[in-house]
């Protein structure tokens, strides 16, 4: 099966996810994040939003992913109003592949795809203790829009971070 390549970065291939990638995506999630989803959820997101489900591959192995969905609802950036927005559900890169631009490149591709389908903003939730991810998102232009107390199952707060698109 031909894989839809988006870009290359120092040996990494950044491309659209395929259904064959889901087992490796789940493995990356299990090894890197405390939040886990059902196998069905990954397939549902891929089926409904394939343009914003992106993987990073090195030597034929998935080493990172980003999965997003497109939503319509209350804006996170304007006091009142509705917006078409991209929701970054999950981003993960295996530890030995971090700080190489892979996560940033995947996020940037997902944001570009959100813009192509008319999203006016993007948002995500991130653990308030995850300094590395927060710095990555701030470097891209995300701003903390809200603090969600006890957001995670373990009671930790999350920052809701948002970015204007277009």
pLDDT tens digits, 13-37? 999 999 999 999 999 999 999 889 9
Number of domains the chain contains: 1
Q: What is the mean pLDDT of the chain?
A: 94
SS3 143: strand
CATH code, 88: 3.40.630.30
What pLDDT score does 80 carry? 80
Is the pLDDT score of 2 beyond 70?
no
User: Domain range spanning residue 123?
Assistant: 5-164
pLDDT score at 137: 96
Average pLDDT over residues 46-71: 97
In Å, what is the CA distance from 13 to each residue of 5, 110, 114, 143?
A: 7, 15, 20, 28
| pTM, rounded to two decimals | 0.93
Lowest mean pLDDT among 41-50, 69-78, 101-110, 141-150: 69-78
What's the rounded Cα separation, in Å, for the pair 127 and 15? 26
User: pLDDT per residue over 63-114, tens digit each?
Assistant: 999 999 999 999 888 878 899 999 999 999 999 999 999 999 999 999 999 9
Confidence of residue 166 (pLDDT cuts 50, 70, 90): confident
Helix (H) or strand (E) holding 56: strand 53-58
The predicted structure's pLDDT at residue 78: 83
CA distance 138 to 149: 20
């Amino acid at each position: 099966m031909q894989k839809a390549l988006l870009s290359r970065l120092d040996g990494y291939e950044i491309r659209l996810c395929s259904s064959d990638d889901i087992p490796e995506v789940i493995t990356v999630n299990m090894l890197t994040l405390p939040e886990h989803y059902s196998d069905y959820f990954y397939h549902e997101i891929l089926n409904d939003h394939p343009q914003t489900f992106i993987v990073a591959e090195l030597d034929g192995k998935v080493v990172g992913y980003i999965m997003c969905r497109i939503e319509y609802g209350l804006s996170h950036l304007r006091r009142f109003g509705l917006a078409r927005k991209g929701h970054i559900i999950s981003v993960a890169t295996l530890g030995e592949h971090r700080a190489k631009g892979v996560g940033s490149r995947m996020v940037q591709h997902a944001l570009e795809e959100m813009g192509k389908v008319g999203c006016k903003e993007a948002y995500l939730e991130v653990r308030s203790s995850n300094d590395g991810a927060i710095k990555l998102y701030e470097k891209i232009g995300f701003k903390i829009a809200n603090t969600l107390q006890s957001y995670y199952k373990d009671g930790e707060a999350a920052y809701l971070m948002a970015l204007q698109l277009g």
